[in-house]
Amino acid sequence: MSKRIAIITGATGGIGREFTRLLVEEDIDEVWTVARNEKKLEEVKKLYGEKVIPLAKDLTHTEEICEIEEKIKRENAEVLYLVNNAGMAKMGSYQEFSIQELENTIDLNCKAPVILSNLCIPYMKKGSHILNISSASAFQPNPYINLYAASKAFERSYSRALNVEVENLGIIVTAVCPSWVDTEMLIKERNGKKVKFPGIVTAEAVAKQAMKDAKKGKDMSICSFYVKCQHVNVKLMPQKLTMKLWMHGLKKYL
Ligand SMILES: NC(=O)c1ccc[n+]([C@@H]2O[C@H](COP(=O)([O-])OP(=O)(O)OC[C@H]3O[C@@H](n4cnc5c(N)ncnc54)[C@H](OP(=O)(O)O)[C@@H]3O)[C@@H](O)[C@H]2O)c1
Could you report the per-residue pLDDT of 142-197, keeping only the tens digit for each?
999 999 999 999 999 999 999 999 999 999 999 999 999 999 999 988 888 899 99
Range list of H helices, the chain: 14-23, 38-48, 62-74, 99-106, 112-120, 146-165, 203-215, 225-236, 239-250
Q: What number is the average pLDDT over the span 229-244?
A: 96
> What is the number of the ligand 1 atom nearest to the C-alpha of 35?
34
Lowest pLDDT segment from 25-29, 50-54, 83-87, 191-195: 191-195
Residue 1 pLDDT > 80:
no
178 lines ligand 1 (CB under 6 A): yes
Confidence of residue 21 (pLDDT cuts 50, 70, 90): very high
Q: What is the pLDDT of residue 69?
A: 98
**pLDDT for the residue 201:** 98
Residue from 48, 148, 158, 253 carrying the catalytic annotation: 148
Asked about 148 being catalytic, the answer comes back as yes
CA-closest residue to ligand 1 atom 23: 10
Whole-number pLDDT of residue 114:
98
Cα dihedral 72, 78, 80, 84, rounded to 10, equals 20
Give the number of domains in the chain.
1
Q: What is the CATH number of the domain that holds 162?
A: 3.40.50.720
Confidence band for 254, pLDDT divided at 50, 70 and 90? confident
**What pLDDT is recorded for position 40?**
98
Asked if the model's pLDDT at residue 30 lies above 80, the reply is yes
- State in Å: Cα 151 to ligand 1 middle: 13
- The whole-chain average pLDDT of the chain stands at 97
Count CA within 13 A, CB hemisphere, residue 47: 18
Q: How far is the CA of 216 from the centre of ligand 1 (A)?
A: 25
Q: What is the mean pLDDT of residues 76-102?
A: 97
Q: Is the CB of 113 under 6 A from ligand 1?
A: no
Instruction: Determine the structural domain holding residue 24 and report its residue range.
Output: 3-253
Range 106-109, long-range pairs (CB < 8 A, 24+ positions): 106/147, 106/151, 107/59, 107/60, 108/59, 108/60, 109/148, 109/151, 109/152, 109/154, 109/155
Provide the pLDDT for residue 101.
98
Query: What confidence score (pLDDT) does residue 192 get?
Result: 86
Ligand 1 in contact with 149 (CB < 6 A)? no
Q: What is the mean pLDDT of residues 196-223?
A: 97
Burial 95-132 (b: 16+ CB within 10 A, else e): eebeeeeeebbbbbbbbbbbbbbebbbebbeeebbbbb
